[in-house]
Amino acid sequence: MRRFQCYIDGKFSDGEACFESIDPASGRAWAEMPEAREADVDRAVKAAHEALYNGPWARTTATQRGKLLYRLADLVAAHAGKLAELETRDTGKIIRETSAQIAYVADYYRYYAGIADKIEGSYLPIDKLDMDVWLRREPIGVIAMVVPWNSQLFLSAVKIGPALAAGCTMVVKASEDGPAPLLELARLVDEAGFPPGVVNVITGFGPSCGAALSRHPKIAHIAFTGGPETARQVVRNSAENLASISLELGGKSPFIVFADADLESAANAQVAGIFAATGQSCVAGSRLIVEEAIKDRFVALLKQKAEKIRIGSPLDVATEVGPLATRRQRDRVEALVASSIEAGARLIAGGASPDRDGFYYPPTILDCDGIASPSLDNEFFGPVLSVLSFKTEEEALTLANDTGYGLAAGVFTQNLTRAHRLMKGIRAGIVWVNTYRAVSPIAPFGGFGLSGQGREGGMAAALDYTKTKTIWLRTSDDPIPDPFVMR
């Protein structure tokens, strides 16, 4: 089996223990991963702290940081094929998507490379004639980055890129499920020439690695992507170090289709929104809310498309849906579908695991009109679509907002004024109109409610990794007249 190592303080090393990583397409172990525990975490955080305040990184200019990020971007682009194959092998995500996504990840690093020397302070027009006052933006400190297994090179780039641009150092914890691509990315970080300790990459389990990282006293900020339950634990851990937190969590995103929409386009977007990445996407459009007048026709079109989807080896470029990432995830999806059908949901398509090795589950559609189905409230993180219908725009908006989540939403209509009303009314951090799953390094993303706090992407993300320092300079040569009066 292939053997991977942690990357701490510019060196590759084993963890305190090791564990096997499972190939989701076969259900068999394919690689040995380092299991970082508390001592490894402490070593990584201290290396990042030393690099930030005392090492060469402390004397690296913003322009030099940008050049290093450009070099990393070029290396990611050059090794995109290898990284894509590793991500596919370790997570089951299909090769046609990992290849395209990782090639685009390089653009995120290029975007933040360009931002590095554009993070500016300001001069304040203060109300005192004998004072000059400036605001400096300085790195917030050592960042703990906790990244999930799905789209991990993308979800790490939107953290690593802005944090490096801002001048921070970091410890990146890859998920214990499928950490290979992030551990491999560390080799590119090393090759790019970042000083030791600036970027540290580890993996391990929540209680022995994640908890130690999120509560470490030298951590200043925690950037977490994952589920709400783990996020609550991260927030509790942060009480130990009072670190600031950004959370990019899950979703139960509404996908609204009106009768005047281009149904073929909407159906293709819905297929992409829920069945791409085998539904393992935080922005998955898992709740179809379709106008009653076209419900039967639109659902029939989706059923036809779902049943034509090619299920197969994720390394085969012809495959459109691969396996779920873990056995426990496949088992959870099966249980949620079964409980939804028991509650009255009508099975339209899919619903039974194929008889083959690996953690496969087919594209599944459930008609949930008029029932309280578990599929409407729980994030599956799998290829399962729940269908509801509406008669009026007001009813569609009510259904869209009937969730504690608020990450993304899709609206399909040719009525521009209606689209604007819904854009304003939907409580979500992202609203796509007549499209879905579009991303850009320039555009921030993040959620409302249980979908998290803070934003990733765009200039604002880089500023979030800074803190302001106010500098006062008295310009008068006269003695301070009264030391007991605040001026």
What is the DSSP code (8-state) at residue 215? T
Distance of CA 465 to the CA centre of its chain: 17
The angle at the Cα of 235, spanning 232 to 237, to the nearest 5 degrees, equals 110
Give per-residue burial for 241-251: e unless 16+ CB within 10 Å, then b. bebbbbbbbbb
Cβ(363)–Cβ(351) below 8 Å: no
Rounded to 10 degrees, the C-alpha dihedral 427/439/295/360 comes to -110
Catalytic residue among 35, 50, 97, 248: 248
Tell me the one-letter amino acid at 228: P
443 CB neighbour count, 10 Å cutoff: 11
**Token duo for residue 409:** 């939403």
* 103: enclosing H helix or E strand: helix 95-115
Closest CA to 199 of 210, 188, 214, 211: 188
Strand order in the sheet with 466-474: 122-124, 131-139, 466-474
Nearest CA to 167 out of 189, 199, 190 is that of 199
CB contact at 8 A, 86 and 183: no
Q: What angle do CA 140, 144, 149 make, to 5 degrees?
A: 140
Contact predicate 256/289, CB 8 Å:
yes
Q: Nearest-CA neighbor of 23 among 95, 87, 84, 102?
A: 87
Concerning whether 248 is annotated as a catalytic residue, the answer is yes
- Angle (deg, nearest 10), helices 95-115 and 62-78: 160
What would the two tokens of residue 104 be? 């685009």
Catalytic positions, please? 248
